[in-house]
Structure 1
Amino acid sequence: MNNARRRGIAALAVSAVLGGAVAAAVAPTAHAATTPPPAPVPAGLYGKGDPTYDGVWRQSLALLAQDTAGVRPAARAVDWLTAQQCDSGAFPSYRANSTQDCGPKTLPDSNATAAAIQALAALGGRDAAVRDSVNWLKSVQNEDGGWSYTPGGASDANSTSLVIGALAAAGAEPEKTLSAKDRSPYDALLTFARPCDAREHGRAFVYQPKQPGIVGDSTAAAVTASAGKGLVVTAPAQAREAKPACDPATIEDAARQGAGYLADALAKTGHLLLPPTPGASDTKPAPDFGNTADAVVALAAQGLTEQAAKPLAWLERNASDWAKESGPAAYAQLVLAAHATGTDPRDFGGTDLVAALNATGPAPEKAQQAQQAEKSGKSGEKDDSGSGVWWFVGAFFAASAGAGFLLAGRRKPRS
């Protein structure tokens, strides 16, 4: 899911909750009728764009992608994400003032919460925050076993899929997370699957039964979740070869059909298409970079690495400019696609995705330590702080006094 897509769903969900409208995933760049002025970008947050609709989302993806690439994110970046959590355990899309609890105008967001859980669970050390968020998600599960973007709405494939990934990442066993009517998230997910002989979108997962939405988006999300995976995927050793029944009786059958739908959609050009924005002068579909990256992850989750090769190669050739323009979440999606297929994200079609992602936010911990070491003289060079002199004096004092310590004047690395 790219940021434009997420902003559209967010605005539509807000409109549905506040105005009683039906949330429909139809306009990837749509906004609520009254769009607030852009929020300032706070310190610790990745990206320079307005965080109102995607602050928590892009932060979570950035941290998660860095972790998969072996990068330790800056502590203040992790702290920023954790501080976004409401007392209820939910995460909103963004809140400017984290010193006060979330009020009635700060809507909880299942997608942001699910992404934050996955990031914090992967990084470790935030068990209480993860537990509280999982409990909140369980408290707003719909009777059909699924989730909506905001509590009180009808379940949709994207939100349900993201929550499955979060539950799995937190060790909460999504298959055992049952609603008041004993329906699991997989029961809900199966209701979004179209049989292969359907007149429209056969074999795909739709956003909602009466609102297909952007089918490549919902299908990629559901195929990944059906394998019990979240945003981070490692391809299994073997693909599932059995051909499923035309009418998907199980979530496993539906997932294989969905993977087949994605593979066929990608086979010709190597990329999915994004429908034009309603009212736009250019009515031609545009390449959908974000959902193509998600489709690569989905195919990898099913072990279909051969089918993922062509879209992956297309992304390597074409996606760097998109990521540069779109920001940290886009870089993160490409890092996660590379990770799922065993591709080096530091040489992705000639682009170092990890370095580019790191540059959109606070310097990672090791980079901070290296910078501080250089400033404080740890590199062996003399600087104005005189730390090299104090190290020598401390060593001489310890040696002459026979003590087991050094009086080092070196500054500690910043956290």
Structure 2
Amino acid sequence: MNFRRGAAVLAAVAVIGSAAPAAADSSPSPSPSAKLPAALFGDGDPQYDGVWRQSLALLALDTAGVEPAASAVEWLTGQQCADGSFGPYRADTSKACDAKTMVDTNQTAAAVQALTALGGHDAVTTKAVDWLKSVQNKDGGWGYTAGGASDTNSTSVVIGALAAAGEKPAEVRKDGKSPYDALLKLALPCDAEEGPGAFAFQPDKKGTLVPNADATAAGVLGALGAGLVVEPGKGGGAADGGCEKADTPEQAAANGAAHLTEALAEDGHLVSSLPGAEDQPDHGNTADAVVALSAQGATAPAKKSLAWLEKNAADWAAQSGPGAYAQLILAAHATGADPRAFGGTDLVAKLGATGPEASEGTGSGRSGADEKADDKDEKKDESESGFGIWWFVGVCLVAGIGVGFLVSGRNKRKQS
């Protein structure tokens, strides 16, 4: 983790600590030279994204038909606290979680989705789902931390976890409100001057909803009751219609998908909203949009953007590590593309090389010293750019230091 990102997280925790029972863990962050668990994907500092990137890696390998190493799965299950929640990284799991252990809804929901997909972990996922239900907000949604204000991204990833675990999200209510009620309040109306039909991450300080591309991608998935894994050809409709009043989650998803389609129309990719980077392509957010559009059934714009990623995402993924490879695999899976032949890159092999060797015969995992050496250079920048899709931005925005969900950690080099 680079200094500025670390400082941002600490500042955010200071702001949200009074509103949430979980505060930052006082234990020191692993230094770059600290030896990380062999079962962990990636060699960047896991203090803020370990469970997230592990969950995405396991999900992506599962979609590719690869059985992950048992040690990788055991590492993830071992990160759970007694109350069912997950934090980003617990270096010493022999010590029980306490009030200083940093836990959040995003890591917990991602772990639920991964472990449910792999199967055989009902006890772990049931406890995690129970914890998520226990920290639902009165508006029906979830914030990044327990007690934090609801946001589109956290609410959506929790909806995905609930659905994966066999729950009916519409029936998970607090004070009569469901997660879909929370999402509808975060969708911009059709008469909005900017971004009609898009989703905001949260209202800004003035209570205004500001359109946000990757929050929109998340909102589309959440409104459809979909998780991080989208099966190709399962979408319910195209996204070429105009914006219509969103009285239902389905209409909100259609409006959001139409907004993404328009945003992607010219170049096939989204751009970063970081100051001074207006023309900088945002590969990670574009991959998220591909998944969202595929979930909606907007296959043409999804495939157009996937083609752009195939041509342009190799360097970004190599620098960003397992989370980025996983995002691209999930985007390929959502569109029915082959992640083993992605613009000349075998994404499955690349992802496998960042973690423990998978089960024999699966064709993934580290294959030897030479492959480890080849990947070392690719992974060295991971701590600067390979952060989780939604976790970090939730912290930043709560702290008032972000500019929208596009500050998602996949372009962290721009902050250096």
Which TM bucket (shorter chain)?
A: 0.7 to 0.9
State the alpha-carbon separation in 2 of the partners of residues 244 and 310 from structure 1: 20
State the distance in 2 between where 1:284 and 1:240 align. Answer: 31
Alignment of 1:23-102 (within 5 A): 36=29, 38=31, 40=34, 41-102=36-97
Q: Which runs of at least 4 in structure 1 moved beyond 6 Å after TM superposition?
A: 6-9, 368-371
Partner of 1:289: 283
Larger Rg: 1
2:328 corresponding residue in structure 1: 334
Distance 1:102 1:68 in 2: 32
In 2: Cα distance, 1:339 partner to 1:182 partner: 36
Whether contact under 8 Å (1:117, 1:130) holds in the other structure is yes
Which residue does 1:119 correspond to in 2? 114
**TM-aligned CA deviation for residue 103 of structure 1:** 1.9
The residue number in structure 2 matching 1:162 is 157
**Segment drifting more, 6-15 vs 143-152:** 6-15
> Offset at 1:35?
9.2
CA contact (8 A) 1:276 1:285 kept: no
The corresponding residue for 1:226 is 223
Q: 1:15 to 1:367 in 2, by over 3 A?
A: farther
Q: 2:14 is matched with which residue?
A: 15
| Residues 7 and 54, structure 1, Cα contact 8 Å, conserved in 2 | no
- Is 1:38–1:52's contact at 8 Å kept on the other side of the alignment? no
Tell me if 1:299 matches 2:299. Answer: no
Q: Measure, in 2, the Cα distance between the counterparts of 1:126 and 1:60.
A: 14
- Residue 100 of structure 1 aligns with an amino acid whose one-letter code is K
- Per the alignment, do residues 201 and 361 of structure 1 end up closer, same or farther by CA in structure 2, a change over 3 Å counting? same
Distance 2:362 2:179 in 1: 42
Q: Is residue 2:322 matched to residue 1:361?
A: no
Structure 1 residues 168 and 237, CA gap change in structure 2 (3 angstroms) = closer
Q: For 1:185-196, list aligned pairs within 5 A.
A: 185-196=179-190
CA distance in 2, matches of 1:253, 1:304: 14
SS class of match (1:82): helix
Q: Which amino acid aligns with 1:94?
A: Y
Identity of aligned residues (%): 56
| Equivalent residue in structure 2 for 1:265, among 239, 263, 266 | 263
Matches within 5 A, 1:143-222: 143-179=138-174, 181-210=175-204, 215-222=212-219
The CA deviation at 1:331 is: 0.2
Quote the offset at 1:255 in angstroms: 0.8
> Is 1:248 the equivalent of 2:258?
no
Q: Is the 8 A contact 1:121 1:169 kept in 2?
A: yes
Question: Amino acid of the residue matched to residue 217 of structure 1?
Answer: D
Cα offset for 1:246?
3.2
In the TM superposition, residue 19 of structure 1 has moved relative to its aligned partner by 5.9
Give 1:196 shift.
2.2
Pairwise CA distance, 1:276: 2.1
| Corresponding residue number in structure 1 for 2:387 | none
Q: Hey, what does 1:136 align to over in structure 2? A: 131
Give unmatched runs, 5+ long, in structure 2.
366-416
Q: Is the 8 A contact 2:196 2:243 kept in 1?
A: no
Shift of 1:251: 1.4
Change in 2 beyond 3 A, CA 1:315/1:151:
same
- How much has 1:247 moved relative to structure 2? 2.8
Secondary structure at the counterpart of residue 360 of structure 2: helix
Contact 2:41 2:354 in 1 (8 A): yes
Q: Residue 300 of structure 1 contacts residue 340 of structure 1 at CA under 8 Å; is this kept in 2?
A: yes
Q: Are the counterparts in 2 of residues 244 and 257 from structure 1 also a CA contact under 8 Å?
A: yes
Q: CA deviation at 1:283?
A: 4.6
Aligned 8 A contact 1:73 1:365 in 2: yes
Aligned to 2:316: 322
Shift of 1:225: 1.6
Query: Residues 178 and 349 from structure 1, CA distance in 2 versus in 1: closer, same or farther, beyond 3 angstroms?
Result: same
Shift of 1:235: 3.3
SS of match in other structure, 2:356: coil
Shift of 1:17: 2.2
Deviation at 1:14, TM superposition (A): 1.8
Deviations 1:271-293 (A, max 9, x none): 1011225xxxx554421111100
Contact 1:235 1:302 in 2 (8 A): no
Higher relative contact order (CA 8 A, sep 6+): 2
Instruction: Tell me the residue number matched to 1:275.
Output: 273
Native 8 Å contact 1:332 1:357 kept in 2: yes
TM-score (norm 2): 0.79
- Residues 100-149 of structure 1 show CA distances to partners (whole Å, capped at 9, x for unaligned) of 11122212110000000000000011110000000000000001000000
- 1:11 offset after TM fit, Å? 5.0
What is the DSSP-based 3-state SS (H/G/I as helix, E as strand, rest coil) of the residue aligned with 2:281? Answer: strand
Count, aligned residues:
355
SS in 1 for 2:17: helix
Q: Is the 2:254–2:296 Cα contact (8 Å) retained in structure 1? A: yes
Residues 7, 352 of structure 1: alpha-carbon distance in 2 compared, 3 angstrom cutoff: farther
Per mean C-alpha deviation after superposition, the further-off stretch among 43-52 and 92-101 is 92-101
CA contact (8 A) 2:62 2:68 kept: yes
Structure 1: 5+ residue stretches without partners: 22-30, 372-415
Compared CA separation, residues 274 and 299, structure 1 to 2 (3 A) = same
